[in-house]
Structure 1
Amino acid sequence: MATELPPPVLRAARTLWEYHLIYEPLSEADLIIGFGSYDLRVADHCAELFQKGLAPRILFTGKSGNWTGNLYESSEAEAFAARAMKLGIPEASILIEPRATNIGENIRFSRAMAGDDIQRVVMVTKPQTQRRVRATAASQWPEIETLVTAPPTRFEDQPTEAYPLENLINELVGDLHRMRIYPPKGYQIAQSIPASVADAFDFLVRKGYHHHL
């Protein structure tokens, strides 16, 4: 339970959580891209958007990452595709990219698989990685319009049995660190980081939440 941690830690974590959220307005697109992770709710949300007619295809991307090495019997992309098919998505409408191990590869490999006729893409990820996905797509797939969204999960509900709250906080901290160091490397575009967010980051690092740096 989120309430088991000290209130200052929870407040700082919520500050980072809110910063990472995007939830852009959506419109019809050429493709939905679902980013693999521990969070199968992303696959559920992709299926829901497809069933609403948002795009004619879903591309699931991901091999494994920091949190999913032993979580699935197959790649993240294959596990997400299986989940979507259970929800009624036709196999013929699903593409699988099973090699990517980070957000940059998710986007580069998806771009290579998607084809040249793509103009607008809806990228679906975990709530806490929306900002990184948008910043990375703007750098590595700039010629298309990218809309970013996620399941509408609350901070309190994001942890799972396989991914406890401590993991979530470490991820929030680590992703903010990447937003600082990745733009000079060309991995993503720069993001403005408010002082309150920087202070929350520093506080959580001092409290030991530095295992995803």
Structure 2
Amino acid sequence: MTNKKRNPSEYKEIADYMLVETELRSADLCFVFGGQNADHLADHAAKLYHKGLFPKILVSGGVATDDGRMECDRMRDRLVKKGVPEDAILVENKATNTGENVKYGMALIEKKIGLKNVKSLIGIGQIHASRRFVMTLERHWPDVVKMFSTPNYYPVPRREFHKDEKFREDVIREFNKVAPYKQKDFIREVDFDKMAKRIQKLPSLSEEARRRNTKIKKAVARLPDKTRKQRKSGYRRGNRRP
């Protein structure tokens, strides 16, 4: 029940278990789970995209939001508004629950990119259901390296969720889903220590940037001398690239 009284240590345990985030490193894909807070989710994905953390974003959700648009369409429109190129966005429009988000999302990834080309991802979803999103990914896609990040659109910090009535109700409702969902095999438990070690093996953002710069330099070096000189001259003058 969501109205059961708990002591501060119990709330801390629930926060530590439910409101998960991981270290973020460069990933092959961002996977955004739809929700009624679609604008916040899209804004967060756009912010991470512009930091260079991933080249592609999948938005998943076939449920209507309060303005009539489906979750996926609303998030896509918001991403484009925030400067994310349309060709960097994959749109999955059939899912009506978290399991379908992952299953239908994986099918779209296979069609458009190839699952073999996605070794790591950053998941984004509504904060109160953070752990369930990661556990659902673990159930259907155990091999991919999973990271997770989410915006906090509530008026209190995540560790103080119990101080806001709506935040507390949302988290406790999700907490009460975990045991029956595991029993039904909708979700799988996640070893976050093991997951952290896998994340540590991914390139950091600075390492990825150096790698990309090296590729650019090698590509420029293969150009004919005249073209290379023109490019360097253009960069010095602040001109656009040809």
Under a length normalisation based on structure 1, what TM-score does the superposition of the two structures give? Answer: 0.73
Q: For residue 47 of structure 1, what is the aligned residue in structure 2?
A: 46
Structure 1 residue 152: Cα displacement = 4.5
Distance 1:83 1:51 in 2: 14
Structure 1 residue 167: Cα displacement = 5.0
For 1:44-193, what aligned pairs fall within 5 Å after superposition? 44-64=43-63, 69=64, 71-115=66-110, 116=115, 117-153=117-153, 156=156, 167-190=166-189
Task: Return the letter of the residue paired with 2:74.
Answer: A
- State the SS of the aligned residue for 2:156: helix
Q: Which runs of 5+ in 2 are unaligned?
A: 159-163, 192-242
- Would the alpha carbon gap of residues 63 and 72 (structure 1) be closer, same or farther in structure 2, given more than 3 Å must change? farther
The percentage of counterpart residues that share the same residue type is: 26
- State the SS of the aligned residue for 1:110: helix
Asked if structure 2 preserves the Cα contact closer than 8 Å seen for 1:20 and 1:130, the reply is yes
Structure 1 residue 19: Cα displacement = 3.5
Q: Root-mean-square deviation (CA), in Å?
A: 2.6
- State the SS of the aligned residue for 1:182: helix
Distance 1:86 1:53 in 2: 18
- State the SS of the aligned residue for 1:48: helix
Structure 1 residue 139: Cα displacement = 1.1
For 1:29-48, what aligned pairs fall within 5 Å after superposition? 29-39=27-37, 40-48=39-47
Larger gyration radius, structure 1 or structure 2:
2
Asked if structure 2 preserves the Cα contact closer than 8 Å seen for 1:179 and 1:190, the reply is no
Structure 1 residue 109: Cα displacement = 1.2
Q: Which runs of 5+ in 1 are unaligned?
A: 1-5, 159-164, 193-213
Structure 1 residue 157: Cα displacement = 7.4
1:67-86, Cα deviation, whole Å (9 max, x unpaired): xx551321101101111111
- The total of aligned residue pairs comes to 176
Asked if structure 2 preserves the Cα contact closer than 8 Å seen for 1:100 and 1:106, the reply is yes
Task: Return the letter of the residue paired with 1:180.
Answer: A
Task: Return the letter of the residue paired with 2:40.
Answer: R
More helix as a share of residues: 2
Under a length normalisation based on structure 2, what TM-score does the superposition of the two structures give? Answer: 0.64
Task: Return the letter of the residue paired with 2:57.
Answer: I
- State the SS of the aligned residue for 1:32: strand
Structure 1 residue 171: Cα displacement = 2.7
Structure 1 residue 168: Cα displacement = 4.0
Distance 2:169 2:175 in 1: 10
Asked if structure 1 preserves the Cα contact closer than 8 Å seen for 2:36 and 2:65, the reply is no
